[in-house]
Amino acid sequence: MKAALHPGRLLARRYRLLDQIGAGGMSVIWRARDEVLDRVVALKVLAPSLAADARFRGMVREEARAAAQLVHPHVTSVHDYGETVAPDGSITSFVVMELLSGEELELRLTEGPLPWAEAVQVGAQVADALAAAHRLGIVHRDITPANVMMTRTGVKVLDFGIATRIGAPDEDEDGETFGTPAYVAPERLDGAPAQPSTDVYSLGVLLHEALTGRVPYPADTWEELSAALALGPTPTLADLPELPPPVARICLRSLARDPADRPTARQVATVLLDQLLPADAPPEPVRAPTPPLPPQPVTVPTIAGSGWSRRRLALLAVPVILAVGVALAGVALLPDQQPARQAQPTVGPVATPPTDPPVSAPPEPTSAPPTSPSTGPPTSDPGTLIEAANRVDKLISAGLSAGEIRSDVGLDLRNELRNLTSAVGSGRGELAPPVARLRQKVAVRLGEGGISPAYAEQLDAAIANLGVARV
């Protein structure tokens, strides 16, 4: 008898099956070509033995709906859902997803635990994906290494097959618990409703395993899990002396028996990400002011608030270096500042206006305006790469605290900053290309509304300083 699914079969008059690339308990994964959009995709097809059951088809459909709401860099993109009926009346239910290239975390962990920095990066990205799901009221319920794919662009959380809404019953209609025993939160054994805290517990297990190579409570069945929770020792990370204490604390808090004692996924992401950034640099020594130069006739353009801001924001998207900035000896003007009589060197963006009374500006000249922080050279010695990177990171932190930088944008920029300092600091790359990418990312995020104009301008200035730091 010919198999229902085979290479070459066309589903929904659109998706041509190429080859089977994976299988799970409920589904098989096919590589397929979308003949409408001419691209290769992944098709998650409900196993033939389950396809006749409307309940399981409904679960596949709900998975597609849940995952399709999550447009996030660390969640697998869902493109489509479909059902086809064969001539014999059999139904094929499938989800169309982006085709990923990478390695499952589960397979990677067969080689042993990850270096702590890599484990923390994986944990931070999974936590960020879960925070996005929780904001939409979705609980994943099956965060395991098998459902985390490691790709060139970071991790991807897979398989929302048993995801549900916050507060929904956490058992199926037969009273069975969903999920993988070793990663299931204790309260789920008692049938407590689905909550974000249950995902955080699973995240804690995953992070513990990535750091140590083992889960805190080994179990293959619900009975073994109950026994391990009752008799097993309290998890510890004391055998990892090189692990930063904040990582150990947030991991163990995530494994708390009481859900109320666990952090949120967003808090986990923030703590883990902070440990991947360069340590705070020591304060720079106070520099003595340089003697003032003899008075020189200098023409200064009139700065009209709104017009100047529009010119500066336009320059964010297309950085241009203006030679006249050299002649002005690194003087930089923010939108809310007027020229001071004697400017002191600064180490980063300045938001506080000077206390000197405003000085009337001469008439508008026909020459080009002075160089700004977003387009010209730094206003002072930027110091080392780490010192300059710390200033960028502190500016991101200030923007997040002030609500001027969206949380996902802050995470994105910090990831980019960390990758830059890691690659350049270890000699694996040049400084100019990643700095240009980071400045372009600020411009794009500004256009998306993820950064306020004021912070976008200051960030661009700080990143420009980073571009000429000492490596």
List residues with catalytic annotation.
142
Q: How far is CA 259 from CA 137, 196, 201, 254, 263, in A?
A: 17, 9, 8, 9, 9
CA atoms within 13 A of residue 443's CA, in its CB half-sphere: 18
Termini Cα distance of the chain: 67
CA atoms within 13 A of residue 427's CA, in its CB half-sphere: 0
Choose among 345, 344, 340: nearest CA to 356. Answer: 340
156 is in an annotated binding site: no
Choose among 217, 272, 213, 264: nearest CA to 239. Answer: 213
Three-state SS string across the chain, please? CCCCCCCCCEECCCEEEEEEEEECCCEEEEEEEECCCCEEEEEEEECHHHHCCHHHHHHHHHHHHHHHCCCCCCECCEEEEEEEECCCCCEEEEEEECCCCEEEHHHHHCCCCCCHHHHHHHHHHHHHHHHHHHHCCEECCCCCHHHEEEECCEEEECCCCCCEECCCCCECCCCCECCCHHHCCHHHHHCCCCCHHHHHHHHHHHHHHHHHCCCCCCCCCHHHHHHHHHHCCCCCCCCCCCCCHHHHHHHHHHCCCCHHHCCCHHHHHHHHHHCCCCCCCCCCCCCCCCCCCCCCCCCCCCCCHHHHHHHHHHHHHCCCCCCHHHHCCCCCCCCCCCCCCCCCCCCCCCCCCCCCCCCCCCCCCCCCCCCCCCCCCCCCCCCEHHHHHHHHHHHHHHHHHCCCECHHHHHHHHHHHHHHHHHHHCCCCCCHHHHHHHHHHHHHHHHHCCECHHHHHHHHHHHHHHCCCEC
Please give the annotated binding residues for ATP, written as ranges: 44
Please give the annotated binding residues, written as ranges: 44
